[in-house]
Every structure is written in C-alpha cells, then in structure tokens.
Amino acid sequence: MIPVLLILIPLISGFAGFFIRNGNGAKKWSLFSSVITLLVSIAGLSIYNGKAYLNFDAEWLTGLGSRFSVSLDGLSQILSLLTAISFPVIFISTYRNEYKNAKNFYALMLLSQAGLMGVFVATDALLFYFFWELALIPVYFLSSQWGGEKRIQATFKFFIYTFTGSLLMLVGIIYLYTQTPNHSFSLDSFYSLHSKITGATQGWLFWLFFIAFAIKMPIFPFHTWQPDTYEQSPTAVTMVLSGIMVKMGLFGVIRWLAPVLPIGTWAWGDTASALCIIGMIYASLIAMQQDDLKRLVAYSSIAHIGLMCLAIFATTKIGMQGVMIQMFNHGINIIGLWVVVNLIERQFHTRKISELGGLAQKAPALAILLVIVALANVALPLTNAFVGEFLMFSGIYNSVATTYNVVFTVTAGVCIILSAVYMLNMIQKVFYGNTNELTQNAKDIYPNEKIILAVLVIIIIAIGVFPQPILELTKNVVDSIVTKMNYKT
Amino acid sequence: MNAIIFSAVWGIVMMFSGVLSNNKKTIQATAIVGLILLFIVNLLDLGGNHFINIDLHNMLYFETFGLLFNAIAFGASLLYFLLSSSDILKVGVNGAEYFALIFFVLCGVSIVTSFNTLLMLFLGIEIISIPLYILTGADKRDLKSNEASLKYFLMGAFSTGLMLLGITFLYGATANGSFFLDDIAAAKTSLSPLYIIGLLLLLVSMSFKVSAAPFHFWTPDVYDGAPTVFTSFMATIVKAAVFIAFIRLFGDAFGDTIQRWQIFVAIIIAATLFIGNITAVFQQSVKRMLAYSSIAQAGFMLFALLTLNTFAKEGIILYTAAYSIATIGIFAVLIKMKDYSFEGFNGLAKHHPTIAAVTTIFLLSLAGIPLTAGFFAKYYMLAAALQTGKFLWLVIFAVLCAAISVYYYFRIIQAMYFKEGEPQVLETTLSFRVVLIVLSIIIILLGIFPQWLINQIYYLYL
C-alpha cells in the first residue's frame, strides 16, 4: 500500500492544487502535501520487513499483459526517500521566491513528484514507461513557463532529446514483451529472458535502452541539453532535474537494463564506460572555465553522474553498493548547492562568479554551510560522498568485467581532483577576497534557509560517519542485481 | 445494412429540409437528430436487430469489425456536428445540402466497411468521393476552394481509374471471372501476372485515397483549400473509413500472399512517415501543418496493413478513434481562430484557458504521449510490427519520426502557453466548450483504459 500512497498523495494534491485560488495557499498546500509524502516514505522504511505493505498489485491492462504493480525494495526505497526528502527541502528553501500563477507552478511540481515516485516503484515495464513520461511533461511546462530568457528553446531541446530516447526505449520494451513466454510486462518475466535472447540481439537492445537512460543522466555525447536546461529553468525545477530526475537514468540502468540484458551489458560495457570517462573529463574541464554558477554546478553534475554510471558497469557488489549510496548523496549535495545558488541569485540578481566576492564576511553562516556542502561534493572524508566514491572506486578497480579497470580508475580519479579544483576555486572567488559594490550590503541567510542547509549538512555528515543503515537497506538488492549481471551463457 | 439505408434516406430528408425550412436552427437540429438515430440504428445492427432482410447475393458482408468502426465513425461525426455544425452553415448559402452530402458520405462509409466484392468497394469509394469533391468547392467565392476542388476531382478520378483497371485485372485472374473477395483470395495459387498487376494497382489507388506517400501530393492543397470545417471531416472520418476498407480488402483478398507485397507497404510507410513529418516541420500555417500531420499519421496507421495480425486489427480501431477525436477537436478550435498561422495562437492560454487546455490534450494525443489515447494507438501499431519480428528498422524509423512530430505539435503548445500575444478568437458558446471537454475526457480515458474499446472487439469479434 505504501508505494501507492507515495504516488497518489502528490498526484491528487497536485490536481487539487490547480483549483486553489491564491498562490500563497498553493505554496502552503504543496509544502503540506510533500511533508505527508515524506512521513509516508519514512513509515515505509521502518516497516522494512512487512512485505504486504510494500507491494501492491492490481489488474490494469489485462489483455496487454500489463498490471498496475508497484513495490518497494532497497533500490526504490532509497530513491523514493530521496524524492520525498527533496520536495519539502525545495519548497522551504525557495519559499521566498515569487512566481506568476503560483498555483499552477506548485501543482505541476507535485505532479512531477508523482511521476518520479512512480518511476522508482513500478515493477511493470509499461507502467514504468508511463511514469517515465509523466514525470517529464510537468517539468517541461515548469521550465518553459517560469524559466529564464532562452527557456523555450532550451527546454524544448530537453524535451525532444528525452522523448526520442524514451521512444527508443519503448521499442525495446515492446520487443522484450513479445519475447516473454507468458506475454507479460512484469519485471520478473523480463528478468527471466536473459538466457532466451541471443547475444547479438541483446547487443542492439542494449543500445535502445542505454540511449534513453544516457540522455536522462546525461552521458556524453547526449548531454548537450543539460547545461542550457539547468541554466534556464527556475532554480526549484533545476533542483528536481539535477537532484532526482538524473537518477531516473541511473535507476533505469540498474533495474531495467543491466540485469535484463546481462550479455548486452557485458559486451558493450566498455564502450559505455569509455563514454562515461570522456564525459567526466570533458565536463570537469568545462566546469573549470565556467563563470556562471548554475552552469558550473550543471557540469560538475555531469562528471559525478558519469562516475556512478561507470561504477554500475564495473559489475561488482562493492561498486554497486557505492552507486546506491552515492545516488542518494548526490541528490542531497547538489540540492544543497542549488539552495546556495538560489540565495545568491535572489540577493544579487547575478550568477556570475566574477561579479561576486567576499561574501564570507557578510554572511558567515551561509559560508560555513556552503563550504561543507561543497566539500561533500568533492568527496572529502567524513562527508557522505566520500563513502560512496570510495566504494565505487574500489569497485571499479576490482572489476573483472573489464580489462581496462586500472585506466578507468586512474582517469576517474583525475576527475575527482579536477572537481576539487573548480569547487574550491568557486568558493574562494565567491566567498573570500574583498567585497565589492554588489556584495558589501549582503545580508546573511533567513532562518528557513539556514534550517534547510543545516538539515542537509547534518544528513551529509551523518551518512559520512555512519553509512551502515543505507548499506544494509540496499544490500539484498545489490546482491541480486550483481548476480543477474554476472550471468554468462 | 440499417446504417446504409438510413443514412441514404436521411440524406434525402436533409435535402428537403432545406426546401421546407429556411430556419438554420431547424436544419441543424434535423442533422443532429439524424446522426443520433443513425448511431442508434447501427448499434441495433451490432446487437442483431436488422430492420430489413434483403438477399444481397453476398455482395455485402456485415461483421462486427466493420460495424464497430461504423459506430466510431458515426460517433465522431456526431461530436463533429455538435462542435462545428453552425460553422458548416456559415460556409455558404446551401446549408442543408452540405448536411445532405455528409450523410451521403456516411452512406459510402458504411458500404466500404462491409463490402464483400470489389464492385461494392468501388461503389462505396465513389459514394464517398463525389460528395467530397462538392464539399471541397463549397466556398464558391474563394478561388483556393475552387482550385482545391478541381485538383481533388482530377486526382481522385485518376486514382479511381487505376482502381477500376486493377479490379478488371483481378477479375481476369480469378478462376471463373468473379469480383468476390473469396474468389480472389483463391486465385493466389496461380499467381498470374494479372493477379500481381491488379494487386499493385489496387495498392496504388488505395494509397492515393489514404494520402500515403508518394501518392500524397493532392492532400496538402486540398486540405488547405477546402473550407476548414470540411477539411476536418475529410481528414478524420473519411480517411479512417478508407483505411478500414484498405485493411479489409488486403486482409481478406490478399492476406495469404502478404509476403509478396509486404515490402512495398513497408517502403510506402517509410516514405509517408518521412515526407509527412519532415514537411510538417516547415509549415507556417497550422491548417497546412495539420494536413501534413494527417499524412504522417497515415504512415502509422499503415502499420496495420503491413502486419494484419490481431494486434493490428485491434489497434487500427483504436488508432482511428484516437486520431479522429483529437483532430476533430483541433480543427474545431482552428475554425474559431481568425489567424491560422502559429503566431495566431500566441497567448491563447491566458485569454482562453479552457480552449488552450483541451487543445493541449489533443496535441499530446496526436504526438503519442502516454495517458492519452494516441499513445496506445501508436503502441498497438509498434507492437503489431514487432510481433512479426521482421521490420525492426521500420519501427525504429517510425519512432524517430514520431519524435520529429513532437516538434510541430508542440509549437502550438509553446505559442499558447509560453508566448505573449492577443489571439483573435471568434465567439465560442458554452456548449462548444463543454463538447471539447468531453472530447478530451474521452481521449484521456482511452489513454488509461484502452481496454474498454478493445474489449468490444474481443467479445464481439474474436
């Protein structure tokens, strides 16, 4: 029942949101709804052993072999928890932003949450595809309506890219469906296919799925939509896009691609890994040159996601474990960065690093919190990302699925150093040095933002020091996925 | 049989209603009542209540597939009348005649969904075509309308000629000289040149009628030139009916030799999708864009012809329903716009939120986004093709084309929601908006539970 509630609460409250008369009411309503979702999600964690609450299955399209079946396992629990935490954080941290037609804005935000939840809990391929698209449409409208100057072109590019990818995935899904013995879209019958489909077929099926997921993550060379879209979207939407939506791509690979097509994944894993590596280096180098805060964070995100994708293809339990925890961490860390970007942009009406400086003197609380978030992004020990990246690196290095494990480890390691370069450089230029005309009247942050950042910092350090609960949560699912990936004819 | 007789009779009633009454409201009401009755008598036919039992010498054959499609065609026409009948009366002075002609077209529709011999097919196609030539030229004072009518007539007559020639060849190919579909299906054993030429000629002429590339050249000009209300009718109900005829003909008469002609259909599909989608991208007028979009959608519908399996037959019913409802809705909105260019839609969401919202749903459906009927329509076509296991290249090509189609459908959404402007919209009534909302609800319901419609086929037909 829990997964159904996770979808229904935002869905219904989202539709209701369209009918709220004033914008302020809609703001409170959406915050209320997202907090309820968070509580339900936490309740789902606490009854980890109560299987009956975590699964739901009902008839939907019987003739087509598709059922409305949703379930929460470790993987979907961690991602739905991330989604559930993110939305209240987003709503509170952007509480002071004013939007035209605010009720529509908040209603669409809730609808996108419903879509994201659906993606993470669906165990039926057609249902998964439905939610995959359902998450996209509200975000398209949000970015196009409330974004920056070049929003229409930027988000349209984003939409066409992702839509093309998902149509290719649809072809793949239908093809797999026609191969299932009982003509079913269920995850289990997809998992039973690995021995029935020949290696050559798995090869091209791999690409149908991987392109869809690679566009979403994004992986080089499918990433070109991302910096523009992040830059042009309103910050609240950018948080959704970068904190949660990119996880849809990683989630797709972990749940719907690698275990379903193990031979295809094994055959093309090196190619995909090479793309990840190229993307990481490329994005890190560009991030170093950026003067716009939003674009800097966007490119740093490409680099981090590339590492996670690389660790998936390493096909080791330890690496996969790292991916699981890092998906959560990356969401928390990047939302923290966006909160800061949002504060800076609202106060100074600029995102140019070169126009800012000396903020630490004027806003010490902000500076401390940002530094912690930024260091977490660089994966310093004691922060959450260190745990994830350490596990991923050891997974990549010990990988037997590829012969280039050392090369991959070393180049990926270089990217981590580069990420320290651009993050610290950004901190130095924005927060230290002398104040200028623009920043000398800077105020420190408001209490609501301070609380949000403090909460994020607490999560960062708590997971950094004691990651065991999350590792326990995802242990079973990691075992079963890696076992499936290791299938060889 | 009920529908054929009733639609012909009511067509005559409509002609006389113009003589007996000058009141536009009366004419409009007569037409709508007639269509409701037509819908009901067809449903009675589906339920087994036949009004008249004449020995047809097996010339017509009524099966659920055809009758079910009739129900969809009449239902869509009813919605079309409810939305646009007042606009039909505005086209010219002969309001009642336009309605009469539409009823005659519907008579032709019910013949092409039930033919059992090539003669009846020919008759049905002609009964559909001739009233359409007149309707295309209905706006006598408009030069473009005249040009469209003449062009349509010439091209239509030419393709009819080809069809007749094909029928003659097939007549020669059968054992004892017969027009019946069964006899033609039996002629496959010899596979004489006559049979093959006849088959190809029929393929070409039917492709003409459904505006499949490279036989589509008449479509944009005719759809653009005709009065917009009639474009809406032609592009949806009529086109869907011809598709049903196409599939019945090739399924029943040539189903066994599918291996031999499948590749031609595959090439036609690829060309249709490519030309329809690419050309639609460059259009500046929404009306012309919709003409090309109808070509592009025809490319998808042809997948049913390519595969002819159960998926395809279920799917084509859903596809025609989804496509017709969405397109009728968009055209109904377009008629109310003063400026047919994309810029004419700028800022519509701000001034007319309801109309903008329903138009968005129609466009999403045409683009094939999940939760709309259009998604499952496309889904069935792709699934039908993938089930054969042979045309993967075509399926991938088709989804790439579908991605292109998002570009031109979303241009309207962008104009309505994200651009500023003062759209010029004619007065709309409350009932007009209510019918539009009903249409969009149908689209969404079919997008969540397509099974309802499919089940009708399962229980009655399979």
B163 falls in which pLDDT band (50, 70, 90)? very high
B361 near A CB under 8 A: no
User: Which residue in the set B406, B414, B454 is minimally distant from A63, CB to CB?
Assistant: B454
Distances (CA, A) of A351 to A203, A288, A292: 44, 15, 5
Q: Is residue A75, in this structure, part of any structural domain at all?
A: no
Tell whether A127 is covered by a domain: no
Cβ pair B399:A64 closer than 8 A = no
Contact residues, chain A, for B417 at CB < 8 Å: 141, 144-145
Q: Tell whether the torsion through CA atoms of B25, B26, B32 and B36 is positive or negative.
A: positive
Q: Which of B277, B410, B412, B462 should we substitute to test contact with A (largest number of A Cβ atoms within 10 Å)?
A: B410
Which one-letter amino acid corresponds to residue A88? P
Ramachandran sector of residue B159 (left: φ over 0; alpha: ψ -120 to 50; beta: rest): alpha
Q: Inter-chain contact A174–B364, Cβ cutoff 8 Å? A: no
Peptide bond into B353 cis (omega under 30): no
Q: Is residue A28 part of a domain?
A: no
* pLDDT average, residue stretch B59-66: 85
Helix axis angle for A23-46 and A2-17, nearest 10°, is 180
For residue B462, pLDDT over 50 is answered with no
Query: CB-hemisphere CA count at 13 Å for B446?
Result: 33
Round to whole Å and give the CA distance between B355 and B390.
Answer: 43
CA A178 to chain centre: 31
Chain A residues near residue B449 by CB distance under 8 angstroms: 61
A291 in a domain, yes or no? yes
pLDDT in tens, chain A (489 residues): 888 888 889 999 988 888 888 878 888 888 899 999 998 888 888 765 556 677 888 888 777 788 888 888 888 888 999 999 999 988 888 887 788 888 888 999 999 999 999 999 999 999 999 999 888 899 999 888 887 788 888 888 889 899 999 999 999 999 999 888 888 888 888 888 888 888 888 888 999 999 999 998 888 888 888 888 888 888 889 889 888 998 999 999 999 998 898 888 888 988 999 999 999 999 999 988 888 888 888 888 888 899 999 999 988 889 999 999 999 999 999 988 888 888 888 888 888 888 887 777 878 888 888 888 888 888 888 888 888 889 999 999 888 888 888 888 898 888 888 888 888 888 888 888 777 777 777 777 788 888 888 888 898 989 888 888 888 888 888 888 888 888 765
Q: Per residue in A323-348, pLDDT tens?
A: 999 999 999 999 888 888 888 888 88
Cβ-contact A278, A305 below 8 angstroms: no
Q: Do A164 and B400 touch (CB under 8 A)?
A: yes
A436 inside domain = yes
Could you give the CA distance from residue B455 to residue A184 in angstroms, rounded to a whole number? Answer: 18
| Chain A residue whose CA is closest to B452 | A61
Dihedral angle over CA of A116, A11, A33, A159, nearest 10: 40
Supply B319's token pair. Answer: 């596809």
**Chain B CA closest to residue A142:** B418
Q: Is residue A407 part of a domain?
A: yes
Q: Name the nearest CA neighbour of B65 among B205, B186, B245, B191.
A: B245
Number of domains in chain A: 1
Partner A contacted by B111 (CB < 8 A): no
Q: Looking at the partner chain, which of A152, A156, A174 has a beta carbon nearest the beta carbon of B386?
A: A174
At B23-46, the pLDDT tens digits run 888 888 999 999 999 998 888 888
Using the beta-carbon criterion (under 8 Å), do B399 and A171 form an inter-chain contact? yes
How far separated are the first and last CA of chain B, in Å rounded? 21
Q: pLDDT band at B49, cuts 50/70/90?
A: confident
A364 in a domain, yes or no?
A: yes
H or E stretch covering B51: none
Q: Distance from first CA to last CA of chain A, Å, rounded?
A: 38
- Check if A184 contacts B (Cβ < 8 Å): no
Among A129, A141, A164, whose Cβ lies nearest the Cβ of B403?
A164
In the DSSP assignment, the letter for residue A70 is E
CA distance B248 to B115: 9
CB neighbours of residue B457 within 10 Å:
18
**Smallest Cβ distance to A63: which of B392, B418, B458?**
B458
Nearest to A91 by CA among A218, A289, A235: A235
Task: Return the DSSP state at A147.
Answer: S
A431 Cα distance to chain centroid: 28
Q: Examine residue A246 and state whether it is found in any structural domain, yes or no.
A: no
Interface of B with A in 379-408 (CB under 8 A): 379, 382-383, 386-387, 389, 392, 395-396, 399-400, 402-403, 406-407
Q: Around B367, how many Cα atoms within 13 Å sit in the side-chain half-sphere?
A: 27
Do B370 and A141 count as a contact with CB atoms less than 8 A apart?
A: no
- A–B interface: beta-carbon pairs under 8 A: 67
Whether A207 and chain B come into contact, CB under 8 Å, resolves to: no
Q: Which of A171, A167, A182, A194 is nearest to A66 (CA)?
A: A182
Q: Is there a contact between A167 and B419 if contact means CB atoms under 8 Å apart?
A: no
ipTM for this prediction = 0.89
3-state secondary structure of A177: helix
Question: Which of the 8 DSSP states describes residue A19?
Answer: T
Domain containing A321 equals 264-489
Chain B: closest CA distance from residue A2 (Å): 22
CA B132 from centre of chain: 13
- CA-to-CA distance for A243 and A89, rounded, in angstroms? 11
The structure tokens listed for A489 are 């004819």
CA distance B221 to chain A (A): 29
- 8 Å CB contact between A94 and A342: yes
Other CB atoms within a 10 A radius of the CB of residue B188 amount to 16
Is the per-residue pLDDT at B89 higher than 60? yes
- DSSP symbols for A101-114: THHHHHHHHHHHHH
Does residue A64 sit at the B interface (CB-CB below 8 Å)? Answer: yes
